Amino acid sequence: MSHDISPGIAPDPWQELKQFTPARIALGRTGISLPTRAFLDFQLAHALARDAVNSPLDFAKLEQRLILQGHQTLILQSRAENQSVYLQRPDLGRLLSASSLTCLQHSGAVPTDTVIVVADGLSSKAIEQHAEPFLSLLIPELKKIAYSLPPVCLVKHGRVAVGDGVAEHYSARLCIVLIGERPGLSSPDSMGIYFTYHARSGISTDADRNCISNIHKNGLSYLQALKILLFLIKASEKLQLSGVNLKDETTVQALS
Amino acid sequence: MYKTRISHLTYDFKTLRNLMAKATPARSGDYLAGVAAADNLERVAAQWVLADVPLKQFLNEALVPYEQDEVTRLIIDGHDNEAFAVISHLTVGDFRNWLLSVHATTAVLTALAPGLTPEMVAAVSKIMRIQDLILVAKKCRVITRFRNTIGLENRLSTRLQPNHPTDNPAGVAASLVDGLLYGCGDAVIGINPASDNLEATLRLLHMLDEVIEAYQIPTQSCVLAHVTTTLKAIAQGAPVDLVFQSIAGTQKANDSFGINLNLLNEAHLAALELGRGTLGDNCMYFETGQGSALSANAHHGLDQQTCEVRAYAVARQFKPLLVNTVVGFIGPEYLYDGKQIIRAGLEDHFCGKLLGLPMGCDVCYTNHAEADQDDMDMLLTQLAVAGGTFIMGVPGADDVMLNYQSTSFHDALYLRQVLGLRPAPEFEHWLQKHQIFNAENQLLPQREIPALFKASLKKLTEHGNES
């Protein structure tokens, strides 16, 4: 089975085309159906993607890793109390729970330049793998330009807009949200970064945000993502806005 | 007016809009919108009340105000009273009985289509089971033509969807060849471009035109860019076969897509002007999906299925070659699991067919929905039994650009084998001529790359990485 030359399998004679695309081409067939190996390959990829969505992120562990790197943290939660509600009620995932709001208030509210929010989103695996290493590159850069920064807020069951409430609480000019992206079969661990200038709860919309998508091992590297983000920060400070009117003019090599 | 008593409880549904939403089989999008029935009893109470509503009431009580919405105006102003006459005395419940009866033959249903409004069709679908949706849809016949004939009895067409994450021409070509050699592509060869810019669209349009021309394939191409991009491409003399656009069921939702009826009309006329169809002039390709109006916050308190069917009124205005409900793409906040996706796909197909549209379905799901390949097999099989016009053909069912799971070339062959469904006749002839299919439409074994593709594949392998 491992070489797909078991009886009845008809391999496709255009195997060499596979080099041009990540698509599942030249799978061969048994009768007109998928050979066992191709079927199980698919099941494996789907299982990885499903687990990325459904396995909860270990927030305590992530917090520990960040503290070890010298970053202060705060663990918060959205109004979506469980995964099923989170998936069906995006509106609740955009708001902080009552206890998290109290928790924020206790943490003080000195006006700051930027907030950093990390949300599990739709892939806990993405955040588990990429949040800490990326922040360890980003935070020193922010400190270099003397930006004030409250604790990194880690939000359970959070959507992108949950960052707006955090930014509002700290009267922050900039809001950076790291979030697990909707997993594809070939990228279960993709992280996205959303950047909003003057983010405010219930006021900021998708059109006000810039997105740096596809951060994973076969996608955008941490350094490429960092370069774009630093460009956006600088440009937004100048234009005093973000979103559709702020274009990313860095030239990051497209990945084919 | 919309009142009933069940189990010592009185249910009073204030408006027809409210009644329609409460009568809708459960789905997450209606809960998200806050319009769904509170419990099972309220839902069934609404269905009992809805069954007693005269069809004529839908002409008197607009669900989205006539003054505010051009889709409502299109529906009301375009309604054909003469065609409606045959059922104008019926209630929604009687209409269900009539549709399932021997009186509703293919010919009668075809003549009735212009007399139906989306709201009437949505209403009756809410009191139909899956087997009812299948039985009636199977009686409908909608035939369209561009370079082949789509929608004939016992035929099933496929859209070949050779998407690539960066629109790399060699990457697109690799999936394209794979699909053709699996007998796929008679509905359309349609690419979703990774970025909606004119350059990329032009490049892909020319590439598809060259392939169809070089191999004399009796099919049509489409690059699924925004209609304004396609209009620019036409202005630059690009070979546009079908104009694509995503559409929705309210003016406000269409606004959020950056379209309106005038713009669609302009695009339709521009494509007709090109006259690239050899057998017919159906030159539009529309995509829809339950939940699009809510996601644009433009649902006017309507349930998502009724909004969806209103989009079909927009579609039928422009005599499309194909209409595709991309049923599971939007995610679990609108259709939560396999059960909801399956029912929605069959509802959309039924409603579209009854309104006279060439309905196909992108049988699909995302990884955050509670669904898997087994659910897709159920919808795929049921859709084909219902006479679905076309499905997607994506290599291995995995779209590597849009990051969702659709149906594969193998899936189409499965339906051909178990249900005896043939491709469009002109395409069937081409497949047989090039020994991809045999005379019984079985895929022939390929021990080597067929002569037809040999030279160009050699070129591709030599130059692929440079392009």
Taking an 8 Å cut-off on Cβ atoms, the answer to whether A14 and B181 are in contact is yes
* Chain-chain contact of B368 with A33 (C-beta, under 8 angstroms): no
- Going by C-alpha positions, the residue among A189, A191, A187, A163 that lies closest to residue A177 is A163
Per-residue pLDDT band at A109 (split at 50, 70, 90): confident
- Name the packing angle between helices A222-239 and A124-144 (round to 10°): 50
Q: What is the DSSP letter of B88?
A: T
Structural domain boundaries of chain A? Answer: 54-255
In this prediction, residue A256 carries a pLDDT of: 33
In this predicted structure, the answer to whether residue A3 has a pLDDT above a threshold of 70 is no
Query: b/e string for B373-394 if b means 16 or more Cβ within 10 A?
Result: bebbebbbbbbbbbbbbbbbbb
d(C-alpha B217, C-alpha A216), whole Å? 40
pLDDT of residue B215: 94
User: Has residue A114 got a pLDDT over 70?
Assistant: yes
Q: Which residues of B are less than 8 Å from A24 in CB distance?
A: 395-398, 408
* DSSP three-state, residue B464: helix
Architecture of domain A54-255: 3-Layer(aba) Sandwich (3.40)
Answer yes or no: do B178 and A87 touch at CB < 8 A. no
Cross-chain residue pair B165–A32, CB shorter than 8 Å? no
* Smallest CA–CA distance from B168 into chain A, residue: A256
Backbone angles phi, psi at A46, to 5 degrees: -65, -40
CB pair distance less than 8 Å for B443 and A32: yes
Check whether A252 has a pLDDT greater than 60.
no
Identify all chain B residues contacting A4, using CB atoms and an 8 Å cutoff.
none
A6 — pLDDT class (breaks 50, 70, 90): low
Place A33 in a pLDDT band, splitting at 50, 70 and 90.
Answer: very high
A224 token code pair: 């490429």
Task: Check whether A4 has a pLDDT greater than 90.
Answer: no
Mean pLDDT of A12-26: 94
Separation of alpha carbons A103 and B3, rounded Å: 48
Closest CA relative to residue A229, chosen from A145, A159, A167, A153: A145
What is d(CA A247, CA B8) in angstroms, rounded to the nearest whole number?
62
CB contact under 8 A, A88 and B336: yes
Which residues have CB under 8 Å from A1's CB, separation 6+? Answer: A36, A37
Mutate to test the interface with A, among B163, B178, B405, B409 (most CBs of A within 10 A): B178
Q: Decide the pairing of beta strands A9-10 and B390-393.
A: unpaired
Query: What's the complex ipTM?
Result: 0.94
| Among the partner residues B168, B372, B416, nearest to A256 by beta-carbon distance | B168
Tell me the pLDDT band of A44, cut-offs 50, 70 and 90: very high
Query: Do the Cβ atoms of A24 and B395 come within 8 Å?
Result: yes
pLDDT (0 to 100) of residue B465: 53
The H or E element containing residue B2 is: strand B2-6
pLDDT value of position B212: 96
pLDDT score of A255 more than 80: no
pLDDT of residue B374: 98
The beta-strand segments (E) located in B84-215 are: 144-145, 149-150, 157-160, 188-191
**Selection from B249, B271, B269, B247 nearest residue B259 by Cα:** B247
**Contact flag B368-A182 (C-beta cutoff 8 Å):** yes
Taking CB atoms and an 8 Å cutoff, what residues of chain A touch B403? 182-185, 187
- B8: distance to nearest CA of chain A, Å? 33
Averaged pLDDT for residues A71-85: 96
CB B332 within 8 A of CB B369: yes
Chain B partners within 8 Å of A90 (Cβ):
32, 333
Distance (Å) from the alpha carbon of B445 to chain A's nearest alpha carbon: 7
Please tell me which of the candidates A23, A27, A90 has its beta carbon nearest to residue B400.
Answer: A23
Residues in chain B where the model's pLDDT stays below 50: 466-467
- Yes or no, beta carbons of B448 and A45 under 8 Å apart: no
Neighbouring C-beta atoms of residue A143, cutoff 10 Å:
11
Chain A: residue whose CA lies nearest to B169: A20
Q: Distance (Å) from the C-alpha of residue A22 to the closest C-alpha of chain B?
A: 7
